[in-house]
Amino acid sequence: MTTPDFNLLITLDVLLAEGSVARAARRLKLSPSAMSRALARLRETTGDPLLVRAGRGLVPTPRALELRERVRLVVEDATAILRPAEQPDLGRLVRTFAIRSSDGFVDNFGARLIALAHAQAPGVLLRFVAKLDRDSMLLRDGTVDLETGVVADSTSPEIRTRVLFQDRFVGVVRQGHALCQGAVTAERYAAGRHVGVSRRGIDKGAIDDALLLGGVERHIATAVAGFSTALAVARASDLIATVPERHTGCLRDGMHSFVLPVAVPDIKVSMLWHPRHDADPAHRWLRECVKAICT
């Protein structure tokens, strides 16, 4: 079966609206002969004359009258489909966004993000999903709309990313801890008992590598899966937590933070999304909200 030329729908819509080959040609910026050829093709395709001579003008056939409204609606719908997406009416937007983040990010930024989103789009629901790994599958299959975290080497190459902020690691202890007083040297820091953070059960990392360069090694007394949990443990014990500074801002209230005595590379916290959402105005709005509360 031959695929119909859908451009003929636009031509038919204009011809039926104008009732004149000459006027339709001017509206579509075609020559009268080109428009006549288009009308001939329409007659052949539909099996109907569509417009017939009556005196000096043309009048529509019953078939043309039957098609006129249907064709107009089809052309309007097609035009709307091909038009760039418009900004959503945030006041009427009803949508649920799934955001995959670490517990620390939600604890530190979640309340502000919810407040900002609700103020602009009260019908939007933000659903936070626990981040148990760095696999991009949930972004690719649409289970998750947006993700925050450090871009990993394993992140799928098609995933879009945008840096939210740069962060550094700091040491954190409860008030009254021995490290609250005096200079924190690598030896004093390493001599304490530490709470490690790892989702994969790996206790050693960049901090341990930096300490070893100075000839010292820290003792990991326990390991937890997230920074907020590490801070909760340190708050109630003599353990030392080492966490990203900005990522855990409000979570460290009432605790003592100090600059690490070894050089550890900064990290970049980003948001990640699948390219299917790139041009979606509502998703773009959400990304701007996340950027705003992080900056």
List the one residue out of 157, 124, 131, 113 whose CA is nearest residue 288. Answer: 113
List the one residue out of 239, 271, 267, 272 whose CA is nearest residue 255. Answer: 239
Angle at 29 between CA 23 and CA 31, to 5 degrees: 75
DSSP 3-state assignment of 293?
Answer: helix
Q: What is the pLDDT of residue 81?
A: 77
Q: What is the pLDDT of residue 76?
A: 83
CATH topology of domain 95-167+269-294: D-Maltodextrin-Binding Protein; domain 2 (3.40.190)
pTM for the full model? 0.70
73 CA to centre of own chain: 34
Q: What is the pLDDT of residue 97?
A: 97
Q: What is 241-277 written as a DSSP string?
A: EEEETTTTTGGGTTSEEEE-SS----EEEEEEE-GGG
What is the assigned CATH class of domain 169-265? alpha beta
The reply to whether domains 95-167+269-294 and 169-265 share a CATH topology is yes
Q: What is the pLDDT of residue 2?
A: 64
Q: Is CATH 1.10.10.10 the classification given to domain 7-82?
A: yes
Domain chopping of the chain, boundaries: 7-82, 95-167+269-294, 169-265
Please tell me the distance from the alpha carbon of residue 106 to that of residue 29, in angstroms, as a whole number.
Answer: 57
Q: What is the pLDDT of residue 103?
A: 79
Per-residue pLDDT of the chain (295 residues; tens, 9 = 90+): 567 788 889 999 999 888 889 999 999 999 989 999 999 999 998 999 999 988 878 889 999 899 888 998 888 888 877 776 667 889 999 999 999 998 788 988 999 999 999 999 999 999 999 887 777 888 988 899 999 998 988 788 889 999 999 999 999 999 999 999 999 999 999 999 999 988 766 667 889 999 999 999 999 999 998 899 999 999 999 999 999 999 898 899 999 999 999 999 999 999 999 998 988 999 999 999 999 999 8
